[in-house]
A and B are shown apart, each in its own frame.
Chain A
Amino acid sequence: MKKYSVFAVAREAMRHHTGWTRAWRDAAPKKRYDAIIIGAGGHGLATAYYLGKNFGITNVAILEKGWLGGGNTGRNTTIIRSNYLQDPSAAIYEKSRSLYETMSQDLNYNVMFSPRGVIMLAQTEHEVRGYKRTAHANMLQGVTTEFITPAKVKQLVPIINIDGPRYPVLGGLWQARGGTARHDAVAWGYARACSDMGMDVIQQCEVTGIQREGGKVTGVSTTKGDIGCDKLGIVVAGHSGHLADMAGFRMPIESVALQALVSEPIKPCMDVVVMANTVHGYMSQSDKGEMVIGGGTDGYNNYTQRGSFHHIEETVRALIETFPMVSRLKMLRQWGGIVDVTGDRSPILSKTPVDGVFINCGWGTGGFKAIPGSGWAMAELMAKGRSPLTDAFGMERFTEGRFIDESVAAGVAH
């Protein structure tokens, strides 16, 4: 792998950019790997990357039925934050957020992490109390957040209308080191680093079966032939239940559509991320100047990557009151992604009833921000059989009634 640097840019400028090489190899599958990861989205690639980096396991294949980062990794609104209430969530999301801080240097790939700050608006008395409680919990967890006044919200976001009438802004939960990153670059950067460690990123390779012997995984059948493995990580978001079914166990997962939309590009007008959970809308401005807007999930199971029009209407209607200027914007694109939602809306990072099979799923509507932390924890789980970050997220919690009392996925995106 050629290192990217200012010198590389200068060198290539001198020779008309003829010296750039592929960022990662387009590999064909070998007969056998120490570990196979199903799903070359952010979480899958991060898992593979940390398996190599932290545990020296590099005989790894990452299988992807479509193209790299073509699922929810390329479909989210790129918000990164870690202001969660419960300790297990705060631990893994803060690990993740802190890894984003140095990701560009780690991967030698600019992921454009922009810690511009995230405000979650409190627009009812209940939210005020809830967010104050979260701010206090975060203080104990070592996550830097702060409850701010409406005047401070207005100062940070001049385009906001804090006076209501239906949903006045009563304050906000402010995380100054939250922000956004370039979602595709996260997938590409991890893929390049994995490929550099000798791992095979295999695209257009759909898993059609999971082979077992005596309760232990022995390999997978794919559209590119059978591949053997000792350990298998299933990291496929919306299709988790489908793959679990192949391995012979069930998942407490339902798949629903979540959608987002972007406006025409406009001049810089908002340099933080604003989330309004009461009205199910959130917004940030991309580097291109588009306002990136997300809303709530549809209410029914859906695999179509399309959402209902009336949910867009609800989201935009809510945002127009809080951001009156939005009413003059033309919307350019709208899209949907399939998110996997668990019974308690928190993710599952777990061993499974099949020896050697591990599953990482259920990130629901908030998976992007968790990519590095999830990969870090999942790699430890796969390499050592246990990780302090994943202990609370085992799938046995649904039998034991030991839920994580937090609407992480919320049915509202983030």
Chain B
Amino acid sequence: MLIVSCPNCGITAEETEFHAHGEAHITRHTVGSSDDQMETYLFMRKNPKGVHFERWRHQNGCGKWFHMARDTMTLEVFGTYSAQTYNPPKDLLAEIDAKRPGWRDVS
């Protein structure tokens, strides 16, 4: 069972309070984009064995969205951060680099 801290309201709780909503930092292609871009946006997913960045919502709590970095092989939660960003924060990436050297090369 995952233990998650909501970066919006600060509460730490187990996963039933939250809901996962898939891969984060996806480019949302829209009108004027090509078929391939739309397919990428709607369906293509990294689905990595290892470090995964994803969108979550504090469904049974403050109701707000946030991002999480998590390992899909061990279910370790590296950390959560604001939904209002295009990229994971540098200090979180540094922490993941320390824990999982070479994770960026792994698919």
Given contacts A299-B19, A304-B73, contact A242 B107 (CB under 8 A): yes
- Bitwise interface map of B from 50 to 82 toward A, beta carbon under 8 Å scored 1, else 0: 001010000000000000001011110000000
Query: Given that A300-B70, A304-B74, A399-B36 are contacting pairs, would A250 and B44 also be in contact in the complex, using a CB cutoff of 8 Å?
Result: yes
Q: Are the CB atoms of B16 and A300 closer together than 8 Å?
A: no
Interface-facing stretch out of A87-95, A149-157, A251-259, A279-287: A251-259
The CA of A306 and the CA of B47, in the complex, are separated in Å by 17
Do B35 and A301 touch across chains, with their CB atoms under 8 A apart?
A: no
Nearest Cβ on chain A to B37's Cβ, whole angstroms: 10
- Residue of A255, A310, A399, A400 near B47 (CB, 8 A) is A255
Q: Chain B CB within 10 Å — which of A252, A309, A342, A400 has the most? A: A252
* Residue tally, chain B, CB below 8 Å to A: 28
Give min CB distance, A19 to chain B, whole Å. 45
A244-292 CB contacts (< 8 Å) to partner B: 245, 250-255
Using known A-B contacts A310-B1, A399-B35, A399-B39, determine if residue A241 contacts B47 with beta carbons closer than 8 Å: yes
Which A-chain residue is minimally distant from B56 (CB atoms)? A300
Instruction: Please state if B47 and A253 are interface contacts (CB–CB under 8 Å).
Output: yes
A-contacting residues, B93-107, CB 8 Å: 107
* 6 pairs from A and B in contact (CB 8 Å cutoff): A242-B49, A242-B107, A254-B47, A255-B47, A299-B20, A303-B49
Q: Does any Cβ of B come within 8 Å of A308's Cβ?
A: yes
Chain B residues engaging chain A, CB cutoff 8 angstroms: 1-2, 15-16, 19-20, 22-23, 35-36, 38-39, 42-49, 52, 54, 70, 72-75, 107
B72 touches A303 (CB 8 A): yes
Q: How far is the CB of B32 from chain A (nearest CB, A)?
A: 16
CB-defined contacts of B74 to chain A, threshold 8 Å: 304
Chain A contacts of B73 at CB under 8 A? 303-304
Within 306-364 of A, Cβ neighbours of B (below 8 Å) are at 306, 308-310, 342-343
How many angstroms from the CA of A162 to the CA of B62 in the assembled complex?
38
A67 at the interface (CB under 8 A from B): no
Contact for B1 among A245, A308, A400, CB less than 8 A: A308
Find out whether the CB atom of A302 lies under 8 angstroms from the CB atom of B75: yes
A310 to B72, CA, bound (A): 18
Count of CB-CB pairs between chains A and B under 8 Å: 63
Contact with B along A152-195 (1 / 0, CB 8 A): 00000000000000000000000000000000000000000000
Q: Is A252 in contact with B45, judged by CB distance below 8 angstroms? A: yes
A109 at the interface (CB under 8 A from B): no
Q: A241-B107, A310-B1, A399-B39 are in contact. List 20 more A-B contacts (CB 8 A).
A: A241-B45, A242-B107, A251-B47, A252-B43, A254-B22, A254-B45, A255-B47, A300-B20, A301-B54, A301-B72, A303-B49, A303-B73, A304-B72, A304-B74, A308-B1, A308-B2, A308-B15, A342-B43, A398-B39, A399-B35
Taking a contact as CB atoms under 8 Å apart, the answer to whether A343 and B19 are in contact is no
* A: contact size bracket: 20 to 34
- Contact across chains for B20 and A343 when beta carbons are under 8 A apart: no
- With A299-B20, A398-B39 already in contact, the answer to whether A309 and B75 are too (CB < 8 A) is no
Expressed in whole angstroms, the Cα–Cα distance for A117 and B45 within the complex equals 37
Residues from chain B with Cβ under 8 Å of A300 in the complex: 20, 54, 70
Residue of A nearest to B107 (CB): A245
Chain A residues near B44 (CB, 8 Å)? 250-252
Residues of chain A within 8 A (CB-CB) of B75 are 302, 304, 306
- Output the nearest chain B residue to A400 by Cβ-Cβ distance: B35
**In whole angstroms, what is the CA distance A400 to B19 when docked?**
30
B45 and A309 contact, CB distance less than 8 A: no
Which A residues touch B46, using CB under 8 A?
241
Residues of B within 8 A of A253 (CB): 45, 47
Complex CA gap A255/B36 in Å reads 22
What is the CB-to-nearest-CB distance from B103 to chain A, in angstroms, rounded to a whole number? 14
What residues of A have a CB within 8 angstroms of the CB of B39 in the complex? 252, 398-399
- In the complex, chain A residues whose CB is within 8 Å of the CB of B35: 399-400
B22 / chain A contacts, CB cutoff of 8 Å:
254
Q: Is the CB of B107 within 8 A of A310?
A: no
Residue of A nearest to B34 (CB): A399
A301 in contact with B42 (CB, 8 Å):
no
Q: Which of A255, A301, A302, A343 has the most CB of B within 10 A?
A: A301
